[in-house]
């Protein structure tokens, strides 16, 4: 039987459906009913799911007195982490906090968003209008309603990657809800266009390719062999769709971290098997690659990725346009370079999970009147303690752009380090979290 609670904040529904205890932690499953459009709260509602994690070292009575920490996941389109036990930064945070792991709207157990559910919204224009409510400003408005529904004082937020972008939005539009903010690999540019971001991204990814092939020179030959093979032969992914050179380039997603980069080598070493008819790509390789090149589990990422840089102007497929300035990333280039998190219009032609959303994606790319995601004036007068880890060689969130943002936020403390890449909190999350928390706490003494 579910525990049902009614929030005093804007009549937000709050339902607790399950509680569990295992491996040294307790979890509570929270479902919140929030407006689809926070500017028109009576115009329809969606569900936002969040899972609470607490260390079992705290009694239930003691845990109820702990302050809340809200974790904002990377993305867009990434659901909150599912933990089997407390480790890394979660282990460190659970000493002093109740952790709320948010499934940002449209992800995980929140009201689902994919090619099937979007079709229920009607025309492509209606679907695009619906998706306008799935950016950082709406996520932050959800979080504030949830905080009030939980009866929390201003809480601590921890934003990784896109979660850091959301943290800057939080600091812009609802700083009264924050005690302090921690950000890792997520200082978004406050102004400018998506073109600025992708110009920097291409340079970073090119440098990371060079570094990687310096470690594994044999993989340079394997990448070229795969590209030549795909130009001459048809290879089908497990979903039955032909693998193209440009989709193979998406394997560069592994280049974005220290904890994942060596997995690229293990993927490539499985590439070929010898057959009576000559070399073919192995089922092992194709099965692994399927999970990299498909957006079936997170279509929101492909649909909304460039919109996270949209403020008062269209993005117009920025990464695709910037490719013209970086022709060495073209699929016919030799030597072939692997790409990163860029989203291209052909995604919606070659990925079966995205094909029904092609017109919607085009409408979003052409949208010119995106609302502001940040308030530079508020950030310039910021009074909330903020600490951010900036990774010197981060290929997805550029160092120079990050430091420019840091300088524009009053009181923001930067810890720059070359020890980690974009996935730093998966590498040594406990140390990173403790360092950032110590920085914001020292600022308030």
Catalytic residues: 161, 369, 422
DSSP secondary structure string for all residues of 146-162: HHHHTT--SEEEEEETH
What are the beta bridge partners of residue 159?
A: 72, 183
What are the tokens at 105?
């709207």
Judging by beta carbons within 10 Å of its beta carbon (0-12, 13-18, 19+), is residue 134 exposed, middle or buried? buried
Give start and end residues of each alpha helix (H) in 123-215: 124-131, 136-149, 162-173, 194-215
Q: Which H or E run contains 281?
A: strand 278-281
Residue recorded with tokens 């990163």: 340
Give start and end residues of each alpha helix (H) in 39-135: 60-63, 88-93, 115-119, 124-131
Give start and end residues of each alpha helix (H) in 5-64: 60-63
Distance CA(236)–CA(147), nearest Å, equals 47
Is there a contact between 186 and 162 (Cβ–Cβ < 8 Å)?
yes
Under DSSP, the state recorded for 58 is S
Quote the distance between the C-alpha of residue 383 and its chain's center: 26
Report the SS3 class of residue 299: helix
Report the SS3 class of residue 346: coil
Is there a contact between 385 and 411 (Cβ–Cβ < 8 Å)?
yes
The neighbour count for residue 280, using CB atoms within 10 Å, is 16
């Amino acid at each position: 039987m579910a525990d049902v609670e009614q929030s005093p904040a804007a009549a937000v529904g709050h339902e607790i459906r399950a509680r569990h205890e295992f491996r040294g932690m307790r979890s509570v499953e929270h479902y919140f009913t929030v407006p689809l459009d926070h500017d028109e709260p009576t115009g329809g509602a969606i569900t936002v799911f969040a899972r609470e994690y607490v260390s079992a070292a705290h009694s239930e009575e003691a845990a109820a007195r702990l302050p809340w920490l809200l974790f904002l996941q990377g993305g867009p389109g990434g659901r909150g982490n599912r933990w089997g036990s407390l480790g890394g930064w979660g282990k460190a945070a659970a000493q002093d906090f109740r952790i709320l792991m948010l499934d940002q709207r449209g992800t995980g157990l929140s009201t689902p968003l994919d090619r099937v559910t979007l079709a229920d919204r009607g025309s492509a224009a209606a679907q695009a209008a619906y998706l306008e409510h799935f950016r950082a400003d709406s996520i932050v408005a959800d979080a504030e309603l949830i905080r009030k529904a939980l009866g929390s004082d201003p809480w601590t937020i921890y934003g990784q990657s896109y979660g850091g972008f959301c943290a800057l939005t939080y600091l812009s539009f609802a700083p009264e809800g924050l005690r302090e903010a921690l950000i890792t690999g997520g200082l978004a540019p406050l102004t400018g266009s998506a073109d600025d971001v992708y110009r920097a991204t291409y340079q970073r990814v090119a440098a990371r390719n060079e570094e990687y092939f310096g470690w594994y020179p044999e993989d340079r030959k394997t990448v070229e062999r795969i590209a030549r093979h795909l130009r001459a032969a048809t290879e089908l992914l497990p979903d039955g769709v032909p693998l193209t050179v440009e989709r193979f380039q998406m394997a560069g997603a592994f280049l974005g971290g220290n904890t994942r980069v060596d997995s690229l080598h293990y993927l490539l070493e499985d590439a070929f098997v010898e057959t009576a008819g000559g070399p073919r790509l192995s089922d092992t390789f194709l099965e692994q690659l399927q999970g990299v090149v498909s957006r079936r589990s997170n279509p929101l990422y492909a649909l909304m990725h460039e919109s996270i840089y949209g403020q008062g102007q269209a993005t117009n497929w920025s990464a695709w346009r910037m490719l013209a300035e970086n022709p060495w990333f073209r699929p016919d280039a030799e030597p072939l370079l692997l790409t990163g998190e860029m989203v291209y219009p052909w995604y919606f032609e070659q990925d079966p999970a995205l094909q029904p959303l092609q017109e919607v994606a085009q409408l979003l790319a052409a949208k010119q009147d995106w609302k502001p995601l940040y308030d530079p004036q508020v950030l310039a007068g910021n009074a909330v303690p903020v600490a951010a880890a900036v990774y010197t060689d981060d290929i997805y969130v550029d160092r120079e752009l990050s430091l420019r943002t840091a300088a524009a936020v009053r009181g923001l403390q930067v810890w720059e380090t070359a020890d980690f890449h974009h996935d730093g909190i998966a590498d040594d999350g406990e140390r990173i979290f403790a360092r950032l928390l110590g920085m914001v706490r020292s600022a308030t003494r």
